[in-house]
Amino acid sequence: MKIRSQPSTRRAEALSRDRIVDAAIEILDADGDSGLTFRALGARLQTGSGAIYWHVADRQALLDTATDHVIASVMEKGVEGAPPDAIRTIALGVFDAIEAHSWIGTHLTRAPWQIAMIRIVEGLGVQIQQLGVPAEAQFDAWSTLINYILGVAGQNAANGRALPPGTDRSQSLSAMVDRWARNNSKPLPFLESIAKQLVEHDDRAQFLAGVDLILRGIDRNLP
């Protein structure tokens, strides 16, 4: 890839960074992270990988851009409400984006300081300031919240990979719990005690419970 000097739409149906990113998102949504190959992209855009590389540095940059495309739309809708609610809104926005496009969870956790990440961490940081957290405690509060969100993002993506669409989630979780029970080389009292919740819980509500727990840790006076 070279640096483009002029925008120039010289040909009809010209290949462009935007068309490539749109196609990439379609492929990612349909076939997940591993489905996005330059060959698949070439087939969809009726071109070769060489032409794509003229517009895009490499696969990682393409994923950065695709991820940012989705995250930007989440972060740009103004955040209303008091800071704690604003934090919940942002966090849920990211969560919903990941649920809708599970490849985002994978990429967000893999590539540090990509554009999408900067958007998220800055947005949450500002809300933490506005929450009235003392300056010296802001960094701790922020990094805890970010790491929690990225942890959930990564686990959601990993689970999505392990149980591809169509799998019955509660059924395969039950099967896993049963496997423990049989393979009990060591007893797993805690996991057995929460097995029911593990199978039945709602991921989104669970995620929000974690955000609330962390908000309580940030400020003990919060609800």
Residue ranges that bind its own copies, judged by CB under 8 A? 109-113, 118, 121-122, 125-126, 128-129, 135, 138-144, 146-155, 158-159, 161-162, 176, 180, 188-191, 193-194, 197-198, 201, 206, 209-210, 213-218, 220
User: Choosing among DNA, its own copies, none, which partner's interface includes residue 48 (Cβ < 5 to 8 Å by kind)?
Assistant: DNA
Element (H, E) at 13: none
User: Choosing among DNA, its own copies, none, which partner's interface includes residue 215 (Cβ < 5 to 8 Å by kind)?
Assistant: its own copies
With 0-12 CB in 10 A as exposed, 13-18 as middle and 19+ as buried, what is 221?
exposed
The end-to-end CA distance of the chain, in Å, is 52
Taking CA 74 as the corner, what is the angle to CA 72 and CA 78, rounded to the nearest 5 degrees?
A: 100
**Selection from 150, 155, 128, 132 nearest residue 141 by Cα:** 128
Closest CB 197 distance from its own copies, rounded Å: 5
- Residues contributing to the site for DNA (CB under 7 A): 4-8, 10-12, 14-15, 36-40, 42, 45-51, 53-55, 58-60
- Tell me whether residue 42 or residue 210 sits nearer to its own copies (CB atom): 210
Closest CB 138 distance from its own copies, rounded Å: 7
Cβ–Cβ under 8 Å, residues 104 and 96: no
- Tell me whether residue 6 or residue 197 sits nearer to its own copies (CB atom): 197
DSSP for 111-143 reads: STT-HHHHHHHHHHHHHHHHTT--HHHHHHHHH
User: Choosing among its own copies, DNA, none, which partner's interface includes residue 53 (Cβ < 5 to 8 Å by kind)?
Assistant: DNA
**How many CA atoms within 13 Å lie on the side-chain side of 182?**
6
Closest CB 207 distance from its own copies, rounded Å: 8
- Tell me whether residue 47 or residue 138 sits nearer to its own copies (CB atom): 138
User: Choosing among its own copies, DNA, none, which partner's interface includes residue 49 (Cβ < 5 to 8 Å by kind)?
Assistant: DNA
Radius of gyration of the chain (CA): 21
- Tell me whether residue 61 or residue 158 sits nearer to its own copies (CB atom): 158
User: Choosing among DNA, its own copies, none, which partner's interface includes residue 40 (Cβ < 5 to 8 Å by kind)?
Assistant: DNA
User: Choosing among DNA, its own copies, none, which partner's interface includes residue 12 (Cβ < 5 to 8 Å by kind)?
Assistant: DNA
Cα dihedral value 204, 210, 216, 218, nearest 10: -110
Cβ–Cβ under 8 Å, residues 106 and 150: no
